[in-house]
């Protein structure tokens, strides 16, 4: 499975801070926002990732992430000059997807919860159709909503319904088989001139090939696209990291546990940013791996 992170747009809801920097490069507590969606793809076992951004922001992402080899990954880049809808990502990224299945994640979405890696792996294994991820919300009229029957099968999708039939919001993480590229190419732009991801999902639903995986209690899903939600996300990350002593979305840690890098490489990466709490944390991970490789691999 290939991965795509959608990190374009102008971030107008976060003006004036995003007048000078891409929204997905704004920090969420101790790391750039884009680390969080990349970590989700890594937890799903995806190592070949396309970053879609704007022409003016591409250089900044390349400076931050490079070609991904430092993490045992492959990063490539593509440009979306103007917002053309989420589904446009599959047209822009068609060559990247090739003949594979693909995971799309929005660059301002943050996920965290127990057993998340296993859930992602199960959901992507041998995918036929699309897999959406639902999250219970108290204000469903603000979201795309998925309705399931008594057996858990997805039966309807509505975008910001006035009278919601469910409280399960469709989050910004989507798994698709290879048909998604042709489905995206066949779409007609909506009234706002964009290719809508809801139309992609409805096509799969009409074909009887869409399912909704529920992110249950204990999971957190945050959209860090407004002042309030960005602050909330930072406070959430800070609280968990201070209480538990572990870092959320630490890419070096995920790469080390997955065997994509070894302890020596991990230590060098920590030393690169060593004059920070994040860098010291990465170096300590490497030291633990040197002392007890099996405990790190099984963590």
Kindly give the confidence (pLDDT) of every residue in the chain, 299 residues in length, as a single tens digit, with 9 standing for 90 and above: 999 999 988 788 889 888 888 999 999 999 999 999 999 999 999 999 999 999 999 999 999 999 999 999 999 999 998 889 999 999 999 999 999 999 999 999 999 999 999 999 999 998 999 999 999 999 999 889 999 888 778 899 998 899 899 999 999 999 999 999 999 999 999 988 899 999 999 999 999 999 999 998 889 999 888 899 999 999 999 999 999 999 999 999 999 999 999 999 999 999 999 889 999 999 999 999 998 865 554 34
Rounded CA separation 24/106 (Å) = 10
State residue 293's pLDDT score.
65
Strands 144-148 and 48-53: unpaired
CB atoms within 10 A of CB 267: 22
Rounded CA separation 91/160 (Å) = 25
Q: Which helix (H) or strand (E) holds 230?
A: helix 227-244
Q: What is the DSSP letter of 65?
A: H
Q: Read off the tokens for 112.
A: 């965290």
State residue 295's pLDDT score.
52
State residue 17's pLDDT score.
85
State residue 19's pLDDT score.
86
């Amino acid at each position: 499975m290939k991965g795509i992170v959608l990190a374009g747009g102008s971030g107008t809801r976060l003006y004036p801070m995003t007048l000078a920097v891409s929204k997905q490069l704004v920090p969420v507590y101790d790391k750039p926002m884009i680390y969080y969606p990349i970590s989700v793809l890594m937890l799903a076992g995806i190592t070949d990732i396309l970053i879609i951004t704007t022409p003016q922001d591409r250089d900044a992402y390349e400076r931050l992430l490079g070609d991904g080899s430092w993490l045992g990954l492959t990063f490539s880049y593509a440009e979306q000059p103007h917002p053309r809808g989420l589904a446009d990502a599959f047209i822009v990224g068609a060559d990247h997807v090739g003949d594979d299945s693909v995971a799309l994640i929005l660059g301002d979405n943050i996920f965290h919860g127990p057993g998340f890696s296993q859930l992602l792996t199960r959901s992507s294994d041998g995918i036929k159709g699309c897999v959406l991820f639902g999250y219970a919300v108290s204000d469903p009229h603000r979201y795309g909503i998925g309705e399931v029957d008594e057996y858990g099968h997805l039966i309807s999708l509505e975008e910001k319904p006035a009278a919601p039939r469910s409280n399960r919001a469709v989050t910004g993480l989507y798994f698709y088989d290879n048909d998604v590229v042709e489905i995206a190419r066949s779409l007609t732009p909506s009234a706002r001139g964009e290719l809508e991801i809801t139309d992609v999902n409805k096509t799969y639903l009409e074909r009887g090939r869409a399912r909704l995986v529920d992110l249950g209690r204990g999971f957190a899903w945050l959209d860090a696209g407004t002042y309030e939600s960005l602050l909330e996300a930072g406070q959430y990350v800070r609280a968990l990291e201070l209480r538990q002593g572990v870092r959320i979305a630490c890419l070096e840690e995920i790469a080390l546990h997955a065997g994509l890098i070894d302890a020596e490489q991990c230590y060098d990466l920590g030393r690169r940013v060593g004059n920070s709490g994040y860098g010291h944390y990465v170096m300590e991970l490497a030291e633990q791996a040197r002392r007890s490789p099996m405990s790190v691999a099984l963590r």
